């Protein structure tokens, strides 16, 4: 790991069975205000817990509070009225551990997301906090691993190039990606590689093939928000209703309104070359 990462780790996390309680809250709630729920969860999972307490954020759900699943990794499913179990899919993350007071966790988030913005590393709509150590009476001893779940666009791109065009085409299009399109590559190097890759792709495809490849590399979005759009479409039966609904949602089209609404709990770090807005907790 190079010095550029500054304690930031690139990790691959395997599929994991968790027992969880679904909740709504703000970033300031984690984890002291949730401790009573974690206690209930821990007691219900006694003898089955195989990892640290976790909070799984769905950043795509923000009305009436952010959606969060409060979890423990477990060896067997646990089910009750309030507690459910599920397998969370394996992901790649960039992580950074915050030590000490939760009130200062925003500084660590800012360091993590600033690195991602600088290197054009794209997160998904999901994030995780892993509570490695929690000391209610000695908060300076707390240790929390902050995990930004990555959207591995280049991996999807390579897979679908091979699916549509074959292995030789994949090798041609993805040439030098291991040098110029890595976590630590500069934004300039990534843009340079991407331009060359698209030019190579243009020479190998017709418009239909290109659409078939690129449309499968779309950004990962909150399942809960896409389900809401699907429900709007089913009820209205036309795409105009979906577009109207999206215009009424500030996080789709009006990021300034979103910033004013979120400013109580988040700080705008900046935007990437596509205009995507990056937020971190305060």
Q: Please report the beta strands in 100-256, taking only residues with DSSP state E, as ranges in sequence order.
A: 123-133, 143-150
State the Cα–Cα distance between residues 153 and 194, nearest whole angstrom: 11
Residues 261 and 197 in one domain: no
Q: For residue 68, give the CATH number of its domain.
A: 3.20.80.10
State the Cα–Cα distance between residues 118 and 137, nearest whole angstrom: 37
Structurally, the chain folds into a number of domains equal to 3
Give residue for tokens 């896409």.
226
Residues 157 and 145 in one domain: no
Sheet holding 53-58, edge to edge: 9-13, 91-99, 143-150, 123-133, 53-58, 66-73, 16-25, 84-88
For the segment 70-129, what is each residue's pLDDT rounded down to a tens digit? Answer: 999 999 999 999 999 999 999 999 999 999 998 899 899 999 999 999 999 988 888 999
Residues 135 and 159 in one domain: no
The answer to whether position 4 is within a domain reads no
Residues 93 and 144 in one domain: yes
- Domain boundaries, position 228: 223-269
Instruction: Give the dihedral of Cα atoms 206, 208, 209, 215; nearest 10 deg.
Output: 130
For the segment 20-62, what is each residue's pLDDT rounded down to a tens digit? Answer: 999 887 766 667 788 889 999 999 999 999 999 999 988 776 6
CA 151 to chain centre: 7
The answer to whether position 255 is within a domain reads yes
The answer to whether position 277 is within a domain reads no
Residues 34 and 106 in one domain: yes
The answer to whether position 275 is within a domain reads no
Q: Which of 102, 127, 150 is the last residue of a domain?
A: 150
Two structure tokens written together for 248? 């009424």
């Amino acid at each position: 790991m190079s010095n550029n990462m500054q304690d930031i780790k690139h990790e691959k996390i395997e599929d994991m069975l968790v027992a969880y309680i679904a909740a709504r809250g703000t970033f300031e709630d984690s984890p002291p205000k949730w401790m009573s729920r974690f206690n209930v969860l821990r007691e219900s999972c006694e003898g089955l817990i195989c990892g640290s307490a976790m909070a799984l954020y769905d950043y795509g759900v923000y009305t009436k509070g952010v959606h969060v699943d409060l979890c423990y990794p477990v060896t067997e499913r646990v089910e009750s009225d309030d507690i459910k179990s599920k397998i969370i899919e394996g992901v790649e993350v960039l992580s950074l551990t915050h030590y000490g007071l939760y009130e200062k966790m925003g500084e660590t988030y800012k360091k993590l997301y600033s690195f991602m913005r600088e290197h054009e590393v794209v997160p998904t709509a999901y994030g995780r906090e892993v509570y490695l150590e929690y000391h209610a009476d000695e908060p300076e001893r707390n240790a929390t691993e902050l995990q930004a779940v990555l959207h591995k666009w280049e991996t999807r791109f390579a897979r679908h190039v091979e699916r549509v065009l074959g292995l030789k085409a994949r090798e041609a299009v993805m040439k030098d990606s291991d040098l110029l399109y890595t976590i630590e590559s500069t934004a300039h190097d990534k843009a340079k590689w991407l331009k060359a890759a698209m030019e190579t792709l243009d020479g190998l495809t017709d418009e239909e093939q290109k659409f078939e490849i690129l449309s499968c590399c779309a950004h990962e979005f909150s399942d809960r928000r896409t389900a809401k759009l699907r429900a709007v479409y089913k009820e209205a039966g036309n795409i105009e209703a979906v577009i109207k609904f999206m215009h009424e949602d500030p996080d789709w089209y009006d990021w300034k309104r979103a910033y004013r609404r979120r400013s109580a709990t988040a700080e705008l770090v900046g935007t990437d070359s596509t205009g995507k807005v990056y937020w971190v907790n305060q």
